[in-house]
Chains A and B, each alone.
Chain A
């Protein structure tokens, strides 16, 4: 059974700090991994998508890495800003063993607060 864990569950940092969010998954047979941002009570916004054959993706101040063999991904946020405050979720696309069909499995997220 695919399980996705995100550490830490919550994080508070002063503005300007560089930070790393962690995501781990138990079944390394994934098709891709995505990082999302969710503001309170809102839908999800896709930040970065890493295919299983890739090692990292970058978009602006965000960099995501993927180590499939160890079942880990990190999201690096450079020079954090108060506007980065949100919950960050990672999700992996893989085959669910009990249904034999593709599914997307999410972690519970890291709630980030950037203090001005």
Chain B
């Protein structure tokens, strides 16, 4: 157990809908990053938040957005869902803002878009 919790664990949406995924970081960690993992692939970095500000982003369109709260928990929001958004969404927390420290992952939220 890493202490990183994600919710919901599974959800089904239809194309065009919006979804919000949540992540509670491990105690003492101020940095949260989000990843999309398609079946059989490695995770793809979406973005990272440090002290409530985005400070790193991968090649994802603006309809992928996020928030980090004062308690360092985080949300990932995806608007205008597409079929290809179906994936396991993972969040990870760390003490280091520069992606130089060890990452602790949650179990993920599996999103299916119909």
Contacts and interface: CB of A to CB of B under 8 A. Distances in A.
Nearest to B9: A41
Contacts of A6: 42
B45 A43 contact: no
Q: Tell me whether chain B's interface is mostly helix, strand or loop, or mixed.
A: loop
B42 A107 contact: yes
B102 A101 contact: no
A43 B58 contact: no
B7 interface: no
A29 interface: no
B57 A106 contact: no
Using C-beta atoms within 8 Å of the partner chain, give the interface range for chain B: 20 to 34
A49 B4 CA distance: 19
Contact of B56 (A36, A43, A51, A102): A102
A108 B56 contact: no
A4 B59 contact: no
A105 B106 contact: no
Interface stretch (A60-68, A77-85, A92-100): A92-100
Given A104-B33, A108-B40, A34 B103 contact: yes
